[in-house]
Amino acid sequence: MSQLFWHQMNKEELIETLGSSEKSGLSIDAVNERLAEHGANELAETKKLSPLTIFLNQFKDFMVLVLMGATLISGLLGEYLDAITILAILVLNAVLGFVQEFRAERSLIALKELSAPTAKVIREGKQHSVAAKELVVGDIVLLESGDRVPADIRFLEANNCYVEESALTGESIPVSKHESTLYEAELPLGDQRNIGFMGTLVTRGTARGVVIRTGMATEMGNIANLIQSTEEMQTPLQHRLEQLGKILIAVAIALTIMVIVAGIMHGQPMYGMFLAGVSLAVAAIPEGLPAIVTVALALGVQRMIKRKAIVRKLPSVETLGCASVICSDKTGTLTQNKMTVTTLWLSDRTLNVTGEGYEPVGKVYENNQELDIKHDNSIKRLLQISALCNNARLEKQEAVHRKGKVMVEQDEWVLNGDPTEGALTVLASKLGSPAKLLEAQYKRVQEFPFDSERKLMSVVLEHQGGRIIQVKGAPDVLLEQCTHILWQGKVVSMTPALKTKAQKANEKMAQSALRVLAFAYRDLHTQETCRDAGDAERNLIFVGLTGMIDPPRAEVKDAIATCRAAGIKTVMITGDHQLTAEAIAASLGIIPRGGETMSGKQLDQLSDEELDQRVENIYVYARVSPEHKLRIVRSLQRKGHVVAMTGDGVNDAPAIKASDIGIAMGINGTDVSKEASSLILSDDNFSTIVAAIEEGRGIYENIRKFIRYLLASNVGEILVMFLAMMAGLPLPLVPIQILWVNLVTDGLPAMALGVDQSENDLMKHKPRKAKENIFARRLGWKIISRGILIGICTLGAFWITLQEGDLVKAQTVAFATLVMAQLIHVFDCRSSRSIFHRNMFENKYLVLAVVSSLVLMLGVMYIEALQPIFNTVSIGLREWCLVIVAAAFPTVFFGIGSVLSGGKSKKKKKWHPAANAA
């Protein structure tokens, strides 16, 4: 008999062939062995740039090539010293550029790794979450709606499971999957309904399967090379800077030509002028700018990672700084997602349940009297549904804690699964109906998993030859499907009066910020199965309600206040009940006076125009479905807002994609939402979004700082040469000095500015406009005015010294003045106001960079061996006084100006919800 294909085997054959166990999966040893033998479950990557290529790319720059040509000419003319020094400087320049770019590249790769997908597996009988690349053949994998299938698997169990396989088959409509054996040998991929293919997407349902192929052996591996796409990692700012760079090159070249022509006309030697001109052009063109921007972005991204925000798309770093609205989920993001059932409502009785966390210890009270529930059928029924219409698992795990100086071993209850369901599992265990016990008596034959559209979950169970449907979900939805109610132990018709009682109880619990779930059931005729969820969830018998607390996260209230001060509006969008949402929003300070809340139903009744008119005053959307989110995002965007939107489910992906900053949850998010997002919160926490926005703003300001520094320096450099040539003076700086200034003075301090600490008021002003020009807020003026003054002061110092008749001395003074002026000016660039507004020594890197630049400058001025190379002489105290006065003048002048005008950089504007409208 020829060997069977995977889809032809039955469960036993499969498990045996793969050497696994359906219940407990593989052992860790077996996993390690298989991993060592077959390698990681990864698709081969496209080639990365080698370090050598990155290094050689540094010499591709047009002006660097011209300079190398010029160096060659000077070499041929016998100016060996010049040639070697220029070459050395160029190589150093390339090394600096290489280090910057290499670092940037590495950080980007590290980023990708961080957002790599994970998979849920059963190993040694326990559920684990592992990196998808660590999967091996034989692993038992759990899948649910929103997951990407992490390897090729054969299904062992599929509950209403649909998978979208368009990447492989081109078929965009999800196909249903099952676990039954298929008998035909040669089946096209689209017909292999019991196989899940790596990279395809579970759109509905849940499933369990065993891995049959990993990595390049999978079907996706077969076509991997065809589908690998590289993502656009350049940010809009980088793109604009590239454009700007081109303009600056043109300007620099034009000015250089003017300098050369003016110099030659005034009798300067042609060769010397040519070299000076080209050096000037090299110095004046901010060729390092793109690399420093990348480094600043990449380092900022690293800082964000430390604050638990993982950036998936670099451009979002910039957009973060412009965010004017954050639309956030409630459960898990604003709240802790640690649910505990505290209240029960049955037959018009309100009961309280004690106990905390996941430990299944607690009692039930009515009017402060402990209840004996042994003979209470209603409660027992509710507990039964809680335990069985549930996929969460509660497990006891050994954990080691530090108690003072000793480590103590302690058993800890750990929840696997959805926290809402976890709370119900705990409730059932607390009150004597543990799931394990019940599962032995009730066999699950069908499941219609929870989805946030239906807001219900149901199961069909078999018990003593009969079948029963159990349903739980949002009370308002479930009540509509109930024709009867279990009232004081008896099933009676659901009268309007009884229904109102249940609704009132629901509202009362919701008003106290409780998350409320309702429970119902129906007996089926023997062996009956349900066609679909609609078929199951009808004609039900209502049992009761549970109310669970989900405390707000402690740090969120402050984060929301920070947002408000920063001109960012927080909007809660939740599937939960309006009253629950309002109670939690109120406790977090989300709704300002006069702010409105809206339900999904009300939203449905509004046209887009009507929504646009009201959208800016709505702070809470409750009982919404994922597609409502898309409408909200679009409406806010039409009002000119830059919207950050969180989401976790598979249906949230369109809204996440449509928003300006799509945010997914690292812990509870589905793969689909993560893939659609540009930012992942590794702790699912709202405050992390605020931290990321703060970093985003900081990064942008730092980029502005070093653009300001570099360009002002360049203006100064060009101007000093240009004015000297126009005035018929000799060259104030020789080519090597110009290159030296470019390398040492510009490079290190600019990089240090890229990692500068943010100013204190970063989160105290409105977000910047998305289309804001990088030179906005007077940056252009600052660059030009400071640059002009630096140029004039340097030239002044040169001219004064030149009166003594010693050109080399005058050039040394000009060199020292230019370097010093820039090293003083760099501190000014740290503040949006003036040098006097910040502690100069706060940025240690900057202090180090400035000190190193100073030492290097003194080195070329005072080390005798270097003096002829750098055309310097030792200068005395009188010259130093001149240098220091001329160098400090530009910064001090503007600093005093700023202090006198009251440091008027920003008028603090009061925050108003509509403040960011276009």
Q: Give whichever of 506 and 843 is closer to ligand ATP, judged by the CB atom.
A: 506
The residue among 384, 442, 395, 382 whose CA lies nearest residue 422 is 395
Query: What letters, b where the CB count within 10 A reaches 16 and e where it falls short, cover 278-309?
Result: bbbbbbbbbbbbbbbbbbbbbbbbbbbbebbb
Question: Which DSSP string corresponds to 18-41?
Answer: HT--TTT-B-HHHHHHHHHHH--S
- Ranges of beta strands (E only) in 324-442 are 325-329, 340-346, 349-353, 364-366, 369-370, 393-403, 406-416
Contact 683, 320 (CB under 8 A): no
Dihedral sign of CA atoms 197, 201, 204, 206 in order: positive
Within 10 Å of residue 55's Cβ, how many Cβ atoms? 17
Query: What letters, b where the CB count within 10 A reaches 16 and e where it falls short, cover 875-908?
Result: beeebeebbbebbbbbbbebbeebeeeeeebeee
Q: Give whichever of 574 and 659 is closer to ligand ATP, judged by the CB atom.
A: 574
329 is catalytic: yes
Query: Smallest gap, in angstroms, from Cβ of residue 597 to ligand ATP?
Result: 14
Query: Smallest gap, in angstroms, from Cβ of residue 631 to ligand ATP?
Result: 15
Q: Give whichever of 433 and 668 is closer to ligand ATP, judged by the CB atom.
A: 668
Within 10 Å of residue 58's Cβ, how many Cβ atoms? 21
* The pairing of beta strand 152-164 with beta strand 195-196: antiparallel
- Ranges of beta strands (E only) in 92-148 are 118-123, 126-131, 140-144
The residue among 330, 784, 741 whose CA lies nearest residue 572 is 330
Query: Smallest gap, in angstroms, from Cβ of residue 620 to ligand ATP?
Result: 10
Residues near ligand ATP (CB under 6 A) are: 329-331, 418, 420-421, 450, 452, 455-457, 472-474, 515, 517, 574-577
Q: Give whichever of 71 and 390 is closer to ligand ATP, judged by the CB atom.
A: 390
CA 814 – CA 886 distance, rounded (Å): 10
Query: Smallest gap, in angstroms, from Cβ of residue 365 to ligand ATP?
Result: 24
Q: Give whichever of 585 and 861 is closer to ligand ATP, judged by the CB atom.
A: 585
Q: Give whichever of 547 and 735 is closer to ligand ATP, judged by the CB atom.
A: 547
Query: Smallest gap, in angstroms, from Cβ of residue 236 to ligand ATP?
Result: 31
* The pairing of beta strand 569-573 with beta strand 618-622: parallel
Query: Smallest gap, in angstroms, from Cβ of residue 830 to ligand ATP?
Result: 41
Q: Give whichever of 279 and 331 is closer to ligand ATP, judged by the CB atom.
A: 331
The residue whose Cβ lies closest to ligand ATP is 575
- Ranges of beta strands (E only) in 826-903 are none
Half-sphere CA count of 741, side-chain side, radius 13 A: 32
Q: Give whichever of 101 and 451 is closer to ligand ATP, judged by the CB atom.
A: 451
Query: Smallest gap, in angstroms, from Cβ of residue 564 to ligand ATP?
Result: 20
Q: Give whichever of 517 and 743 is closer to ligand ATP, judged by the CB atom.
A: 517
Query: Smallest gap, in angstroms, from Cβ of residue 771 to ligand ATP?
Result: 32
Query: What letters, b where the CB count within 10 A reaches 16 and e where it falls short, cover 524-549?
Result: beeeeebeebeebbeebbbbbbbbbb
Retrieve residue 394's tokens.
């509660």
Query: Smallest gap, in angstroms, from Cβ of residue 517 to ligand ATP?
Result: 5
Q: Give whichever of 457 and 632 is closer to ligand ATP, judged by the CB atom.
A: 457
CA 613 – CA 598 distance, rounded (Å): 14
Distinct helix (H) and strand (E) counts, the chain: 33, 28
Q: Give whichever of 134 and 421 is closer to ligand ATP, judged by the CB atom.
A: 421
CA dihedral angle for residue 576, residue 579, residue 581, residue 585, rounded to 10 degrees: 180
Retrieve residue 124's tokens.
């040694």
Query: Smallest gap, in angstroms, from Cβ of residue 158 to ligand ATP?
Result: 19
**Residue whose structure tokens are 């109930």:** 482
Query: Smallest gap, in angstroms, from Cβ of residue 577 to ligand ATP?
Result: 6
Give 746's DSSP letter: I
Q: Give whichever of 687 and 794 is closer to ligand ATP, judged by the CB atom.
A: 687
Q: Give whichever of 262 and 474 is closer to ligand ATP, judged by the CB atom.
A: 474
* Helices of type H across 597-645: 600-604, 608-614, 626-638
Contact 764, 563 (CB under 8 A): no
Query: Smallest gap, in angstroms, from Cβ of residue 599 to ligand ATP?
Result: 12
Out of 152, 329, 576, 756, pick the active-site residue: 329
Contact 341, 423 (CB under 8 A): yes
Retrieve residue 643's tokens.
């919207």
* The pairing of beta strand 393-403 with beta strand 406-416: antiparallel
Q: What are phi and psi of 343, to 5 degrees?
A: -135, 140
**Under 8 Å CB-to-CB from 775, ≥6 apart: which residues?**
783
How far is residue 280 from each of residues 273, 722, 735, 858, measured CA to CA in Å? 10, 10, 7, 22
Half-sphere CA count of 721, side-chain side, radius 13 A: 32
Question: Which DSSP string corresponds to 427-457?
Answer: HHHHTT--HHHHHHH-EEEEEEEEETTTTEE
Contact 894, 785 (CB under 8 A): yes
Active-site residue numbers?
329
